[in-house]
Amino acid sequence: MKKNKLNLFILVILLVLPISFAACPEDIDCPWNKDAPEQFNYQTGDYSSIDWGNAIWSKIPPSRIPDVPADKLNYNQLNVDQRLATTTEQIVLNLEKINNLAIDVNEERAREAIEKVTQIKVKSLGQSAKIVHGILRATFGEEESLVFAGKEGWEVEIDENGEINHLGLKEIQESSISFEDSFTIQEETAYIGKDGSVLSVKSLSFRNGQSYVKLGNTARIDFYEILAETNPIDIHFNPLIKPEGNYIAISDAGLDIRTTKDGTVKIDPLPGNLLFNMVKRQYEKDEDGKLIKDKFTWVPDERDTLSITVLGGDNLEVISRAEAEKTPLLRHQNGGGKTSLENGRMGINVQEGKLTMIPSKPFEGKAGPIDQRNSVAMELISNNFADLLRTSSSNRYLLLRNDKPIGGNSLGLEVSDFIESNMMKTMDDLRVKHPQIDFSIGMATPESIEEYLKKGYGNPTPPEYQEITANLAQTTDQWLKGKTSLNKYISQVYFGTQLNAGGTLLTLSVGERMMDGSTISFNPAIRTGTTPLGTLDHEFKHILKGYIISKEASEVHLKDSPEYLVEEGLLLERFESEEITEKELNSQIMELGDKHLKAILKSRGIEMKENTIAVNLADEIYVSSSEDFEIMVEEVEELARKAQDLGKGVANGEHLKSLMLESKDSPLRADYIQKIGANLDYWTEEKIEGAEDLRNRYTHFIREETGFYPYAFRAYGGNYEEIFSVYSELPIPEAKKCLSCAQLEYDLVISTDPPDWLWQQAEERYYQIMGGKDGSYCSKNPCGPCLKYKLTCKAE
């Protein structure tokens, strides 16, 4: 019996044992058996019971990987699919085991994991990346890296080149950047230095603890743009020791730019840059809308342009002299390379020991848009040459040696090394400094714009022209300097882009083209020798004349004259009955006033001042030099016949006969002097044989006799408009040839009851011409004001 029980027991064991060792059917959740881990249903089993030390990792389906407790996950045991199924938490604990965070695991979760651990948001891991010892590394392309420590809150990406780009965070501390970091700050970010300084940076890269601009990149640091076109460029901030290689060192004192034999550094200071004063004033206004002189902020001046390229071993230092209120000094050192500055409309190069210049080009045409770039004011010296090159903010330069000017393009305009002078840049600057005068963009009359357009010159006030150039501001300011109470004569100044300037009573019009040295220096429309300041002086004389005429009209009670009133009444009637327009009415009233004024003055024995002078001068030629003049006229006649035979005729379609001195008693005989000159110019241009010789001789003769060039005798509608203005431009020895002109000039100025500066100026010039108060002329003849012109001239 005992034996059977034993046999039965063995039989049961034998029966049960295989069953107990048989695989757990799939549809049955077999409990975990640490001795039979293969029997566990990894598909559907309860993972909470698993002893993970004994688990058969290969049996875990990828879909169940998330069920594996993160701290139990044995990453190294996982296959490809399983790895891809890992959760963020699992990845967190295995970050440094993952060979390629981009493809070995789910990238999005990998990035989430990184963010959880480091508080750094990674937007992309590129093709492949891993983390080693707390450093995220791209493992392809540029293989850049980012140390996690100290970078909480950052947002980065690994791009298709294996480069790490910083995105998003608006502030970065220099102290958070370590030696192993290699990345680029892509978007505009505040970079806070260890010394607390703050710079705005963009596209600035870092590697081995050094900031730099990558090859092919354009970085922006504060108000600098740095272009690494041929090589990377290191960027140093306030370096304590002199760096090496191709670099830019930015400090409070300025810039230091160095290059190697094969290196190039290009840096463009930008509007807003304070080292180079690329700013303008923006003034506050009071409750009446008036600008407040001392209340302003500095804002970027978008018109200021400068580009600096240093290459091939050259060095350039930019030294701030703001404390001395001076413009920056650029100190060049020759290294066998080249240094170039594109400064406004000028180009400056230093190469092979030479300083070369490409001056600003002239503006084309007579009106329309212009190149409004301003230059940057600075001084340049070099160990290569003894000269100093100074530029203004108005496209002017001055070359100096031993402080003495030896070259330039400014035509008498200031080229200053003081910051303040170069900050005169806008109409507001003029308004604040000269509050008695109104400055604006426009023309004296709307019809002026129409005229320009009709003639095809272009618009003198194009829509894009909303602000004057620094050149125009500074020229106007220089001319106005010291002219107190000028608003007596000028209350309005209009600015435009035209190749012209004009002056009428109380109004001055100035065009940009007329104030640009290059544009006026060789223009067929402009007399040789014209300068910007000379032009303004010339127009001022016209304004003075307008003032004098208005005084005369008042003095003779023009508006009370019965004849005048009758004719004015008739004009008004015609206007009211719409026979004439308002424009025609105004124009005809002006002509009427002019006509009656002349008649009244004539009746009082007061001739048109310029006409008298011009005719007197003409008489001098006709009478006292008649023989020489007649010989020349005979030659002119012969030349005119020759020209006609050649089909050249006379200029402006005039008949040959009218050119000749038909009547020496003609009131316009002085105009013939001009006509002869004009025709000689024309025949010279046409290369008629003998014309140039005669033209030169004739011009010389007229100047010897009168002091004037022939053109000054041009009559406009019976008036010699130019004599008065042109006489004022004659140097003293030439002016001495017409003492009656000097007297008239003096009298006319004094008749306006001028401010002190103008009185002094007129008096000084008068006595220089007359040979002094005690000179030979004045000791024998009356000298002083109001001797020739007496109508409104009151000598004190």
Partner 1 sequence: MAKTGQITIFIIFGIFLFLILAAFFFFSFKEKPEPNVLNTGPIQEYIQSCLKKTLEDAVFENSRRGGYFILSEKSTLESTENVPYYLNGKENIFPTDEILAQQLSKYVDSLVGLCVTDFSKDSDYNINFSKPSSQVILTTQKIILNTNLLATITKNNQVKEISSFVTEISSKKMYSAFQTAKQIVQSQKDEEVCLSCFSELASQNGLFVNLLSVSNDTYLFDIEQSEYLHEGEKYHLRFAVRYNEKE
DSSP assignments along 433-478, one per residue: H-TTSEEEES-SSHHHHHHHHHTT---SS-TT--S--HHHHHHHHH
Q: At its nearest, how many Å lie between partner 1 and the CB of residue 549?
A: 29
* Tokens of residue 195, six digits: 């010394």
- Which residue, 148 or 701, is less far from partner 1 as judged by CB? 701
The distance of Cα 101 from the centroid of its chain, to the nearest Å, equals 50
Of the candidate spans 33-41, 152-160, 394-402, 570-578, the one that interacts with partner 1 by CB under 8 A turns out to be 394-402
Of the candidate spans 70-78, 107-115, 405-413, 561-569, the one that interacts with partner 1 by CB under 8 A turns out to be 405-413
Q: Decide: is 771 part of the binding site for partner 1 (CB under 8 A).
A: no
- Which residue, 416 or 751, is less far from partner 1 as judged by CB? 416
Strand 506-511 relative to strand 279-285: parallel, antiparallel, unpaired? unpaired
Phi–psi pair at 732, nearest 5 degrees: -55, -50
Q: Decide: is 331 part of the binding site for partner 1 (CB under 8 A).
A: no
Q: At its nearest, how many Å lie between partner 1 and the CB of residue 735?
A: 9
Among 406, 566, 572, 590, which residue interacts with partner 1 (rule: CB under 8 A)?
Answer: 406
Q: Decide: is 521 part of the binding site for partner 1 (CB under 8 A).
A: yes
Q: Decide: is 523 part of the binding site for partner 1 (CB under 8 A).
A: yes
Q: Residues 496-524, buried b or exposed e (16+ Cβ, 10 A)? A: bbbbbbbbebbbbbbbbbbbbbbbbeebe
Cα maximum dimension of the chain:
177
- Which residue, 526 or 533, is less far from partner 1 as judged by CB? 526
> What would the x/- binding string for partner 1 be over residues 341 to 380, using CB under 8 A?
------x-x---xxxxxxxxxx------------------
- Which residue, 91 or 389, is less far from partner 1 as judged by CB? 389
Q: At its nearest, how many Å lie between partner 1 and the CB of residue 659?
A: 20
Tally of CB atoms within 10 A around 562? 7
Among 4, 76, 528, 577, which residue interacts with partner 1 (rule: CB under 8 A)?
Answer: 528
> What would the x/- binding string for partner 1 be over residues 217 to 256, using CB under 8 A?
----------------------------------------
Q: Decide: is 418 part of the binding site for partner 1 (CB under 8 A).
A: no
Q: What is the SS3 assignment for 299?
A: strand
Among 731, 756, 774, 782, which residue interacts with partner 1 (rule: CB under 8 A)?
Answer: 731
Q: At its nearest, how many Å lie between partner 1 and the CB of residue 681?
A: 8
Among 14, 522, 582, 780, which residue interacts with partner 1 (rule: CB under 8 A)?
Answer: 522
Q: Decide: is 333 part of the binding site for partner 1 (CB under 8 A).
A: no
Closest CA to 496 of 476, 471, 468: 468
What residues from 622 to 681 belong to the interface with partner 1 (CB under 8 A)? 627-628, 681
Among 569, 704, 772, 773, which residue interacts with partner 1 (rule: CB under 8 A)?
Answer: 704
Q: At its nearest, how many Å lie between partner 1 and the CB of residue 370?
A: 15
Q: How far apart are CA 258 and CA 253, in angstroms?
A: 16
Q: Decide: is 97 part of the binding site for partner 1 (CB under 8 A).
A: no
Among 581, 696, 760, 779, which residue interacts with partner 1 (rule: CB under 8 A)?
Answer: 696
Q: How many residues bind partner 1 (CB under 8 A)?
A: 52
Q: Decide: is 407 part of the binding site for partner 1 (CB under 8 A).
A: yes
Element (H, E) at 220: strand 218-221
Burial classification of residue 102, based on how many CB atoms lie within 10 Å of its CB (0-12 exposed, 13-18 middle, 19 or more buried): buried
Q: Decide: is 122 part of the binding site for partner 1 (CB under 8 A).
A: no
Q: Decide: is 323 part of the binding site for partner 1 (CB under 8 A).
A: no
Q: How far apart are CA 232 and CA 584, in angstroms?
A: 69
Among 211, 374, 409, 751, which residue interacts with partner 1 (rule: CB under 8 A)?
Answer: 409
- Which residue, 524 or 717, is less far from partner 1 as judged by CB? 524
Q: Decide: is 316 part of the binding site for partner 1 (CB under 8 A).
A: no
- Which residue, 196 or 524, is less far from partner 1 as judged by CB? 524
**On the CB side of 202, how many CA atoms lie within 13 Å of its CA?**
10
Tell me 361's DSSP state.
P
Q: What is the SS3 assignment for 45?
A: coil
Q: At its nearest, how many Å lie between partner 1 and the CB of residue 729?
A: 12
Closest CA to 441 of 372, 539, 352: 372
Q: At what angle do helices 532-555 and 582-603 cross, to 10 degrees?
A: 70
Cβ–Cβ < 8 Å for 156, 139: no
Q: Decide: is 775 part of the binding site for partner 1 (CB under 8 A).
A: no
DSSP assignments along 579-615, one per residue: SS-HHHHHHHHHHHHHHHHHHHHHHTT---HHHHHHH
Cβ–Cβ < 8 Å for 142, 160: no
Distances (CA, A) of 648 to 76, 687, 689: 102, 10, 12
Binding site for partner 1 (CB under 8 A): 347, 349, 353-362, 384-387, 389, 399, 401-402, 404-409, 411, 517-518, 521-524, 526-529, 627-628, 681, 685, 692-693, 696-697, 700-701, 704, 731-734
